[in-house]
Every structure is written in C-alpha cells, then in structure tokens.
C-alpha cells in the first residue's frame, strides 16, 4: 500500500466554524516535513448545523487561500477532509467475533438503534479498535448526516480537489496527538475553536467519550472588550498577548472570562465522570491536552490544571514534524493547525478501511 501513498500525496483540509486551515506534510527519509500551509476566515453563517449552506463563500475563500495566500505550496489535488464533531457520532461497540458480512449487518442495526436519525440519512464507517482476550472485538463506529457530507463534496468538486478521505475531526486530532506525544495514559483532548469546544477521551485504542460545549473564543474576546472598555480588536490582542497570565489587568480579565471558561470546566468534569463510570475500566484520565486556535490563550493550561486537578498542557503538534525551509506558524498560532496536520498525516493503511 506504500505505492498508493507515494502516488497520492494529499493535504489536510480543515473547515472550522469560522475558518479554513490547510496543510500538506510529506514523508521523507528525514521524517515528516511540511511543504505548505495556510488559513483564511469566512463568515460563520456559511455553515448551519454543520451543513455548508453557502458554498460560494467557502469556495471563494478556499480558492483564494490555495492560489494566493499559502506559505510554501501544495503539490497535490488530493485532499483529506474532517467533519465537525458536534454533528458526527462516534461510538465503540463490543461484538462477538463474526464473519465480515454479519459484522456489517450488526453494525448497521447498532447505528440504527443508537443514533437518533434514520440510518439511510447517514453515512457511517467502522474499524476494529481492538480484539479482547475472550475473542470479542471492540469496533469504533463513526457516522455523519449525509446532508453534511454531500455539502462538503460539492465544495471540493467545485475546487477541483479529489477527496481521498473524510473523517471526523476527532480522528484527525487524535492522530496528531498520537504522532506528537507519548501515550501511556488515557487522554482528554479538548479542541478549543471559535464558537465551541469539542472534547474527546482517547485511551490508546479508541475514542471512548465525546462532548461539545459552547465555550467560545469569540465570546471571550467580547467579555474582555466589555470589561476593559476597549474595542473588539484591542480585546483580541490583549487576549492573545496576556490572556489569563500576569498583567496589570489580570484580575479584571480573569473575572470577565470566567463564566465562559466555567462552561468548559463543567463539561470537562462531565465527560470525565462519564468515562470513569462507564468506560474507564478503573484507569483514570492521566492528562488533558488542549488544541485548536483558542488553546493558545496564555495561561489556559495552568487555569485548567488548577480547576480540574488533571495536568493540562498545550498540544505540541510539531514535535515530530519539521518545516524544512518554510517559516513555521507564529508562536501564538501553534495549535491552529492541529486538525489539518492530523489529516495530512493519514497513512495508506488507514485509507483501505
């Protein structure tokens, strides 16, 4: 299958709630090297409930980004795409060992029963996460409304890009976390985006629990603007520069953003409780890794460590990735590209499932 990979390099394309991120990483003898990357914002109204309702807007922004505003360049028109977490379903089901045909049927009825949508309005896929001692198998199942995927495919067709892989945002993010970080404990991954945060727990073999909470980077900026009596733009630069860390206005800032961050803390506790009660087999969450653009908020890791009592740190996506001759993303943007980089690291084996 290595041939497929060589013949078909691809880049990662992450459509967020308010921005696009693309990145191509090429495997070379010297390891993983970024050949091109970039980001561009769009009006969040272009996407509604996960469905791209205004494809023209996204197509235009993506076209301009790819043609004019990349750092480095893309060498392929093959693309790996991620789907929004809040509108996809991810489950682990345990089934006895059975023939592939029976397995397909069993999964179909599982999807039918456990997802509150008619099965013929969904696309779904599955893979074996692990085989247990008694021979039964844990199967990771993912599903997403057809309406969402079809709206994505339309955009990529218009851009002249060939979609090689579509996966949930969580899978992409999990891949870059595994690529970049040691993994001997169960990890709670928190993707802090512009309008919401997506949570997932990865225990080394499968994604065991997920959640989404409307803790929003945009609202954090708004709260800072209100509390300090400054413009949105100034508030954004205060947020990215000082965040929750020591500054003259630290007390005011922390107090202003606390209600927003509390939502996140509460959701973290909820997902951890669910995991502990239902999925953990007694092993606790060993660490929290934060990523997504909002994770760059200075002081956030320390804040979450204090509030949850679980060691929290920023994902270091570039641990095993080099930028070669390219200028790497700005320090304040390190985690913006986590999903796009995870997508571009997909291996050929994964493509065959």
* Half-sphere exposure (Cβ direction) of 27: Cα atoms closer than 13 Å: 14
Q: Which does 19 bind (CB under 5 to 8 A by kind): Mg ion, ligand ATP, none?
A: ligand ATP
Residue closer to ligand ATP, measured from CB, 12 or 16: 16
Q: Which does 38 bind (CB under 5 to 8 A by kind): ligand ATP, Mg ion, none?
A: none
Handedness of CA 80, 72, 323, 288 (dihedral sign): negative
Q: Please select the residue that binds Mg ion; options are 36, 72, 193, 317, rule is CB under 5 A.
A: 193
**Six token digits for residue 24:** 């191509």
Quote helix, strand, coil % in the chain, to nearest 5: 45, 30, 30
Min dist. Cβ of residue 102 to ligand ATP (A): 37
Min dist. Cβ of residue 211 to Mg ion (A): 15
Min dist. Cβ of residue 31 to Mg ion (A): 25
Min dist. Cβ of residue 333 to Mg ion (A): 13
- Return all residues near 206 (Cβ < 8 A) that are at least 6 apart: 92, 129, 130, 138, 140
Distance between CA 28 and CA 33 in Å, rounded? 7
Q: What is the DSSP letter of 43?
A: -
Min dist. Cβ of residue 44 to ligand ATP (A): 8
- Which residues sit opposite 34 in a β-bridge? 25
Q: Which does 293 bind (CB under 5 to 8 A by kind): ligand ATP, Mg ion, none?
A: ligand ATP
Residue closer to Mg ion, measured from CB, 82 or 164: 82
End-to-end Cα separation, the chain, in angstroms = 12
Residue closer to Mg ion, measured from CB, 25 or 343: 343
Distance between CA 287 and CA 5 in Å, rounded? 33
Residue closer to Mg ion, measured from CB, 140 or 168: 168
**Six token digits for residue 280:** 């953990």
Please, which of residues 3-42 interact with Mg ion by CB under 5 A? 16
Distance between CA 235 and CA 243 in Å, rounded? 10
**Block residue for tokens 């990349």:** 70
Q: Which runs of consecutive H residues, i.e. helices, occur in 181-281? A: 217-228, 232-241, 250-274
Min dist. Cβ of residue 128 to ligand ATP (A): 29
- Return all residues near 32 (Cβ < 8 A) that are at least 6 apart: 25, 26, 179, 320, 321, 322, 345
Q: Which does 329 bind (CB under 5 to 8 A by kind): Mg ion, ligand ATP, none?
A: none
Q: Which does 296 bind (CB under 5 to 8 A by kind): ligand ATP, Mg ion, none?
A: ligand ATP
Residue closer to ligand ATP, measured from CB, 237 or 305: 237
Distance between CA 169 and CA 340 in Å, rounded? 9
Residue closer to ligand ATP, measured from CB, 208 or 239: 239
Min dist. Cβ of residue 133 to Mg ion (A): 37
317 touches Mg ion by CB under 5 A: no
Enumerate binding residues for ligand ATP (CB under 6 A).
Answer: 16-19, 191, 193-196, 217-218, 221, 239-240, 292-294, 296-297, 332, 336
- Binding residues for Mg ion, per CB under 5 A? 16, 193
């Amino acid at each position: 299958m290595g041939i497929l990979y060589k013949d078909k390099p691809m880049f990662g394309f992450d459509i967020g709630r308010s921005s696009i991120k693309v990145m191509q990483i090429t495997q070379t003898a010297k390891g993983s090297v970024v050949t091109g990357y970039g980001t561009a914002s769009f009006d969040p109204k272009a996407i509604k409930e996960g469905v791209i309702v205004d494809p023209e807007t996204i197509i235009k922004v993506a076209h301009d980004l790819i043609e004019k505003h990349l750092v480095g360049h893309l060498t392929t028109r093959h693309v790996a795409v991620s789907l929004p977490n809040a509108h996809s379903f991810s489950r682990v089901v345990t089934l006895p060992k059975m023939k592939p045909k029976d397995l397909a049927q069993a999964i179909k009825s599982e999807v039918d029963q456990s997802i509150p949508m008619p099965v013929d309005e969904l696309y779904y896929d599955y893979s074996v996460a692990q085989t247990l001692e008694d021979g039964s198998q844990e199967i990771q199942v993912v599903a997403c409304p057809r309406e969402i995927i079809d709206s994505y495919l339309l955009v990529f067709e218009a851009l002249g890009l060939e979609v090689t892989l579509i996966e949930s945002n969580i899978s992409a993010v999990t891949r870059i976390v595994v690529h970049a970080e040691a993994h001997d404990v169960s990890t709670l991954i928190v993707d802090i985006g512009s309008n919401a945060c997506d949570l997932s727990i990865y225990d080394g073999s499968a994604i065991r629990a997920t959640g989404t909470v409307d803790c929003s980077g945009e609202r954090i900026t708004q709260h800072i603007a209100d509390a300090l009596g400054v413009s949105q733009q100034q508030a954004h630069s205060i947020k990215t520069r000082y965040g929750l860390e020591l500054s003259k206005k630290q007390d005011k800032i922390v107090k202003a953003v606390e209600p927003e961050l509390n939502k996140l803390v509460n959701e973290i506790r909820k997902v951890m409780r669910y995991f502990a009660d239902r999925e953990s087999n007694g092993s606790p969450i060993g660490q929290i890794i934060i990523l997504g653009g909002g994770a760059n908020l200075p002081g956030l890791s320390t804040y979450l460590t204090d509030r949850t009592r679980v060691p929290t740190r920023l994902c270091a996506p570039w641990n095993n990735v080099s930028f070669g001759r390219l200028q790497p993303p700005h320090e304040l943007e390190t985690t913006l590209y986590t999903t796009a980089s995870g997508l571009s690291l997909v291996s050929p084996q994964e493509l065959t499932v």
